[in-house]
Amino acid sequence: MSNRIAVLSAAVGAALLAMSGQVYAQAQGIEVRLSGQVNRAIMHVDDGEESEHFFVDNGISSTRFRLSATAPLTQGLRLGSVFETEFQSNSSSAVTMATRDIAAEFNERHMDVFLEGGFGKVSLGQGDGAANGAMEVDLSGTSVAHWSGTNNIGGGFAFRNDAGGLVGPTIGSSITNQDFESRYDRLRYDTPKFGGFSLAGSLGSSGNEDVREFALWYSGDMGGLGRLAGAVGFSKQDGPIDTAEDEVTGGSVSWLHGSGFNVTLAHSQRETGGRDRDFTYAKLGYKFGKHAVSLDWGRGEHQSAEDDESTMVGVGYVWAPVAWADIYAAAKRHTLDAASGVDAQDINIFMVGTRVKF
């Protein structure tokens, strides 16, 4: 598989080089854009034994900057690149009671070149797999405060037993949305949209293993009935042995009615390590003017161990007084029903923060 990908990549690279030789107006139409955002919050966590404040970078939509460039190659054909890196200190998904401060570091998100035209889009490099984000389609307007990625806020905190000892699974290991293989080095193809639908496929490598992903994306405006967006995807990562293979199937759909009422649903199944892990999520929301509010519920089954059940209920609010800023608040409670019989204490998390686009 690796060899096939290398050959494919070389072919695309050669094609891009050949085409770039025919650039008809080298300096004409080139556009370089620099943008980014800062997203900081105060988070309060109570795990039943300790409670503490944290100054965090919101892992739902981290602090980052992006440099992108596009240029026309020929009539109807554009070549472009995206360089995006995040710079998080105290990521909200990583801090714990024992580790409140985590030094900032750069993490690559996108290092991508692409060619797009009437045939669709071909991307090569580090970037989203074909199905990345298919578990996170959300039109509620509150996604910066809470969404299906339940582990993005407080994912590092471990449940405690009644005696106050740490009993093991963290929020992040017991309830995640299993959003496929995220970003990795890959070759990806997206079809043009047909009636709101588009297909995507990617081949690449992640964690030293081959990965392939496929997804069907949809977005449509139904006039008076509002907007609907959704995606279904499949990913498979090879492993050195059969039980180490990682296979995810899932999707999400979100409907925003013209009145502001909205519903979001997501479900995924992951097979790896000889265990089937499930995730189910629902969100009800309401948008009015520059405000959005929502309630959500999520459940992870068999994720941390066979028959473990981890549940989350939450509420979120976002105020967007200007187009470049969100001010938000969220609260949620995580519960673990451990198969081991240990009585785990609930974890409560509150967060207030702001995201500013620069």
Partner 1 sequence: MKALGLLALAAALGGCGAAPFDYHQAGEIKQGPGVFTGNEGALVFKPGQAKPAAASSEAEEFERWKRSAEGSSEYREFQDWREWREWKQRNAR
User: Residue 228, interface with partner 1 (CB under 8 A)?
Assistant: yes
Q: Which of 158, 216, 329, 330 binds partner 1 (CB under 8 A)?
A: 216
Residue 243: phi, psi to the nearest 5? -70, -15
User: What is the number of alpha carbons within 13 Å of residue 33 lying toward its C-beta?
Assistant: 14
Q: Which of 180, 184, 217, 281 binds partner 1 (CB under 8 A)?
A: 217
Closest CA relative to residue 298, chosen from 287, 286, 283: 283
Q: Which of 44, 66, 78, 291 binds partner 1 (CB under 8 A)?
A: 66
Q: Which span sits near partner 1 by CB under 8 A: 13-21, 119-127, 138-146, 167-175? A: 138-146
- Minimum CB separation from partner 1 for residue 30, in Å? 5
Q: Which is nearer to partner 1, 5 or 229 (CB)?
A: 229
User: Residue 119, interface with partner 1 (CB under 8 A)?
Assistant: no
User: Residue 229, interface with partner 1 (CB under 8 A)?
Assistant: yes
- Minimum CB separation from partner 1 for residue 3, in Å? 30
User: Residue 223, interface with partner 1 (CB under 8 A)?
Assistant: yes
- Minimum CB separation from partner 1 for residue 277, in Å? 14
CA 217 to chain CA centroid, nearest Å: 15
User: Residue 64, interface with partner 1 (CB under 8 A)?
Assistant: yes
In the 3-class helix/strand/coil scheme, how is 31-94 assigned residue by residue?
EEEEEEEEEEEEEEEECCCCEEEEEEECCCCCCEEEEEEEEEEECCEEEEEEEEEEEECCECCC
Q: Which of 124, 232, 329, 347 binds partner 1 (CB under 8 A)?
A: 232
Q: Which is nearer to partner 1, 48 or 72 (CB)?
A: 72
User: Residue 17, interface with partner 1 (CB under 8 A)?
Assistant: no
Residue 58: left if φ>0, alpha if ψ -120 to 50, beta else—which one?
beta
Q: Which is nearer to partner 1, 140 or 345 (CB)?
A: 140
Long-range contacts of 69-72 (CB under 8 A, 24+ apart): 69/30, 69/31, 69/32, 69/33, 70/30, 70/31, 71/23, 71/29, 71/30, 71/31, 72/25, 72/28, 72/29
Contact 213, 235 (CB under 8 A): yes
Q: Which is nearer to partner 1, 110 or 160 (CB)?
A: 110
The single-letter DSSP state of residue 97 is S
Q: Which is nearer to partner 1, 108 or 337 (CB)?
A: 108
User: Residue 98, interface with partner 1 (CB under 8 A)?
Assistant: no
Q: Which amino acid is at 107?
A: N
Q: Which of 133, 201, 300, 314 binds partner 1 (CB under 8 A)?
A: 133
User: Residue 219, interface with partner 1 (CB under 8 A)?
Assistant: yes
Contact 201, 122 (CB under 8 A): no
19-58 residues in contact with partner 1 (CB under 8 A) are: 25-37
Q: Which span sits near partner 1 by CB under 8 A: 5-13, 181-189, 223-231, 280-288? A: 223-231
Q: Is 221 exposed, middle or buried, given 0-12, 13-18 or 19+ CB atoms closer than 10 A?
A: exposed
Q: Which of 93, 309, 326, 336 binds partner 1 (CB under 8 A)?
A: 326
Taking only Cα atoms into account, the Rg of the chain, rounded to an integer number of angstroms, comes to: 21
What is the C-alpha separation between 129 and 151, in angstroms, rounded?
A: 20
Q: Which span sits near partner 1 by CB under 8 A: 114-122, 229-237, 333-341, 346-354? A: 229-237
Closest CA relative to residue 119, chosen from 170, 189, 214: 189
User: Residue 230, interface with partner 1 (CB under 8 A)?
Assistant: yes
Closest CA relative to residue 332, chosen from 147, 95, 161, 169: 147
- Minimum CB separation from partner 1 for residue 321, in Å? 12
Helices (H), the chain: 2-20, 171-174
Q: Which is nearer to partner 1, 117 or 220 (CB)?
A: 220
What is the C-alpha separation between 121 and 193, in angstroms, rounded?
A: 11
The site for partner 1 (CB under 8 A) is made up of 25-37, 60-61, 64, 66, 133, 136-138, 143-144, 147, 149, 193, 195-197, 216-223, 225, 227-230, 232, 249, 251, 253, 269, 323-326, 355-358
